[in-house]
Amino acid sequence: MDLQLSVEAYDRSTTGGALEILQNMYSEQQPETDGRGHTLLSGPGITAYRNGYLGGNVRGFLAKDGLFDGDIFSVHGTNVYRTDSAGVQTLLGSVPASGLVTIAASRNEVLVCVDPGLYSYNGVDFIPVVLPGFGVSSIAYIAQRFVGSSNSIDRWYWSDLLDGRTWDGLNFKTAEGEADKAVRVYTTPQYVVVFGTESTEVYGLNANPRTPADTFYRISTGAMAHGLLAPLSVAKEGAFIFWLSNKKNIFVASGFRPNKISTPYEQDLLDSLTDAELAGALGYSYTQRGHTFFVFTVPNKFTLTYDLGNQKWQIRKTLGGLSWRAELGIKAFGKVIAANTNSADLFEIDLDAKTDLGVPIVQEFTVSIPVRAPLVLEDLTIDMWSDTAGFMAMKFTQTGGRGAWTSFVDARMSAPSYEDTQVMWRDLGTARAPERIQRFRISDPANVMVRGARANDGID
């Protein structure tokens, strides 16, 4: 009998359902050639990339293909660095020690925003930008202009053409749907997205503006009744934008249609934290091996990843902590580069790595019983592949995850070349759904593919 693999992280136990765990793994839909629709795959490891930065911990970074040779621009405490593909680090200048950090780039200029100020690097010098009577809380770039959100009112501004060092105080737009303060400005290739405390508005580009003040126009159908709670939770992947709203919901929007992607499980986690705690949430996205992930972290609380393809959530966690080490992420030099706000170093998210900077990665998943009638479990077999021999541990509960668990029991996990393997436990008593949940753990450094679970079939 086939049993049900967890395909997401979802705790239904508090409402009488069953617990699903998927930690440091993700699910992938497969052709149902053997009656099984999903497999479970190991998540990525983390390897060292660059270190030796002075000034403090990472506060923000950026890299763009084709701009400044794709180099990484990063803020470490009070220092701003440029790092090339060979790892050569150039100290560009310094910025204030406090304030939200965002970075944007054109083909010939990089602007670093440290709320409420701006700093410009043009390949030659790094200088503060003189703003005419206003401050900005965030920065972005579109159509040869930089755009910035006001740090105090419901406005956003834009720079002169191809010049992030020159701003006209009359080149601004004011929120029209709600008179709420601008929190973050963000751009796609076609639009400017202005997040307020209570609403979000989308602006388009005028093809032939009569004056610089007419460069942008508000799209009437682009107003969304969802504001932004965490300025650095905003992330983009292709046409999709993700963010944590002022109502503690996680949304994704393509165009002007927001869709809530946080399930009741994520809502319980979010609702357990205060607005002040959630305001520090961080978000980014990356794509590896055909899967696009939105990574959402509340530092020292939890990390959740959302697989845009199968629309499922997973847990990511670094051993010894509550959240994942890779809190921030960008694409640079064909890699996914990550950072942690408690470290000055840069890391690489690497699917081939089997540890988290040398720390074991604990992979976990659950298996449930698909039938309501009592089932005597004479044996339970996991069908899988592993590139490393080791052990898989299993324990179970009879309370859906609400009560006590048995102790973990190890079973040997072999790694035959180019072949699947099976891991088996015997004499597991009588199980009843949905209360009976089996929880599996792999702590050895291994990349695995779990193809399925079955009961009372024995090993092939």
| DSSP class per residue in 188-229 | -SS-EEEEESS-EEEEEE-SS-SSGGGSEEE-GGG-BS---S
Q: Which pLDDT score, from 0 to 100, does residue 61 have?
A: 99
What is the rounded average pLDDT for all residues in the chain? 94
Instruction: Give me the domain span that covers residue 241.
Output: 45-353
Structural domain contains residue 336: yes
Assign residue 333 a region (left: φ > 0; alpha: ψ between -120 and 50; beta: otherwise).
left
Question: Could you give the angle at the alpha carbon of 52 between the alpha carbons of 49 and 56, nearest 5°?
Answer: 110
Structural domain contains residue 221: yes
Do 261 and 378 fall into the same domain? no
Alpha-carbon separation of residue 214 from 155, 171, 173, 203, 217 (angstroms)? 15, 8, 10, 12, 7
Do 305 and 388 fall into the same domain? no
Which residues share a beta bridge with 202? 193
Do 88 and 206 fall into the same domain? yes
Domains identified in the chain, total number: 2
- CATH code of 316's domain: 2.130.10.10
> Of 353, 379, 410, which marks where a domain is finished?
353
Q: Which pLDDT score, from 0 to 100, does residue 177 have?
A: 82
Do 249 and 232 fall into the same domain? yes
**Closest to 75 measured CA to CA, from 94, 49, 52, 51:** 94
Q: Which pLDDT score, from 0 to 100, does residue 378 have?
A: 94
Query: Distance between CA 190 and CA 169 in Å, rounded?
Result: 24
Do 333 and 367 fall into the same domain? no
Query: Distance between CA 101 and CA 225 in Å, rounded?
Result: 26
**Closest to 79 measured CA to CA, from 126, 147, 123, 117:** 126
> Which residue ranges of the chain lie beneath pLDDT 70?
32-35, 458-460
Do 24 and 120 fall into the same domain? no
Q: Buried (b) or exposed (e) across 175-209, using 16+ Cβ within 10 A?
A: bebbebbbbbbbbbeebbbbbbebbbbbbeeeeee
The pTM score is 0.95
Preceding omega of 116 cis (within 30 degrees of 0) = yes
Which residues share a beta bridge with 293? 286, 307
Structural domain contains residue 267: yes
Q: Which pLDDT score, from 0 to 100, does residue 374 have?
A: 87
Do 189 and 211 fall into the same domain? yes
Main-chain dihedrals φ then ψ at residue 2, nearest 5 degrees? -75, 140
DSSP element (H, E) containing 269: helix 264-271
What's the one-letter identity of residue 198? E
Structural domain contains residue 460: no
Look up residue 43 and give its two tokens: 């998540």
Place of tokens 């199968």: 310
Assign residue 169 a region (left: φ > 0; alpha: ψ between -120 and 50; beta: otherwise).
alpha
Contact call for residues 335 and 328 (beta carbons, < 8 A):
no
Query: Distance between CA 125 and CA 129 in Å, rounded?
Result: 12
Do 39 and 50 fall into the same domain? no
> Of 353, 378, 403, which marks where a domain is finished?
353
**Closest to 173 measured CA to CA, from 217, 121, 111:** 217
Do 227 and 249 fall into the same domain? yes
Do 113 and 260 fall into the same domain? yes
For 215-236, the pLDDT digits (tens) are 999 998 889 999 999 999 999 9
- CATH code of 408's domain: 2.60.120
Structural domain contains residue 445: yes
Do 39 and 49 fall into the same domain? no
> Of 311, 327, 353, which marks where a domain is finished?
353
DSSP element (H, E) containing 117: strand 117-121
Do 151 and 211 fall into the same domain? yes
Q: Which pLDDT score, from 0 to 100, does residue 322 have?
A: 97
Q: Decide: helix, strand or coil at residue 451.
A: strand
**Closest to 46 measured CA to CA, from 442, 444, 344, 352:** 352
